[in-house]
Structure 1
Amino acid sequence: MNVKSLLVTGALASGMVAGFVTGAFALDYRKADVAQLQGLDKITARISTFEVPVGQSVNFGSLTIKVDACYRTPPEERPESAGFLEIIDHRSEDKTDVEVFDGWMFASTPGLSALEHPVYDVWVKECLNAGDEAPSGDDAMPPENNG
């Protein structure tokens, strides 16, 4: 085999491997009705879990969190949820509204696309449908909902 045919063979082989790997890890996302979020108040160290229907907003401290979309994988695949969030901070010191986050958050990798805020952390826990079981306990109480 000469060098040229060796390079062509290598390129074809790596292309097939890349195609196989990409297809093997592609997830089948399906729409969900509700995003289950968690928020951490860094001052009080209190974690709140709340559910927000897609298209609606919720207040968490000085933040307003709007869920624009929520998707999850089916049960037979690797569990993953992704939500598209818009987060606005209503700052009291200068009475301005500042968009602090606008994008996708993934439940399995919250650090990949995270809210950077000095007081609050917010992340997607999972995406649910109307028939799914709600969490139990005190932390299942949602903050004030705004539709």
Structure 2
Amino acid sequence: MKAARFALLASLLLGAPAIHPAQAQMDPGWDAKREAELQALDKVTARITILKLQLNQPITFGTLRITVRACNARPPEEVADAAAWLEVQDTRNDSGGKPVFQGWMFANAPGIAMLEHPVYDLRVLECR
């Protein structure tokens, strides 16, 4: 369980290509969930919004279009953590959306893989 998470974290740190959730084998230490809770920050207004997203149902926050493809949580008997596979596009100058983030974000390690955007910030809070 820890080895799989370590391998994923190491690949992120070393710049290896991210594993798409459809290609990844489910680690038995994670439970698949259907809903993700994200914290979205608008850096211009300093407003924080809690977003609840269903899998594969895109929502809009400002100029971002956010889609959660997978959301996994640790079982209740383990230390709480959540990991979500996000696809984020910015529609500001392109109605089709310019990709600005694609990959796993971890609730307990937000600095490992984060959205780098001048106006918005996203953070995974939990998976339900």
Shorter-chain-normalised TM-score: which range? 0.7 to 0.9
Cα distance, 1:22 vs structure 2: 4.6
In structure 2, the gaps of 5 or more residues are: 7-26
Shift of 1:109: 0.7
More helix by share: 1
Residues 34, 52 of structure 1: 8 Å contact kept = yes
Corresponding position of 2:67: 66
CA distance in 2, matches of 1:54, 1:40: 21
Residue number in structure 2 paired with 1:15: none
> Please, which runs of 5 or more residues in structure 1 have no aligned partner?
1-20, 129-147
TM-score, length-scaled by structure 1? 0.67
Greater Rg, structure 1 or structure 2? 1
Name 1:51's counterpart in structure 2. Answer: 52
Aligned-residue sequence identity (percent) comes to 45
Aligned-residue Cα RMSD (Å) equals 2.1
| Structure 1 residue runs of 4 or more that deviate by more than 3 Å after TM superposition | none
* 1:29-62 deviation line (CA, Å, top 9, x unaligned): 0100100011000000000001001111110000
TM-score of the superposed pair, with normalisation by structure 2: 0.76
Distance 1:96 1:57 in 2: 13
Number of equivalent positions: 106
Describe the superposition over 1:59-114 as per-residue Cα deviations: whole angstroms up to 9, x where unpaired.
0000000000000011100111000000000123x666210000000000111100
SS in 2 for 1:78: coil
CA distance in 1, matches of 2:28, 2:104: 16
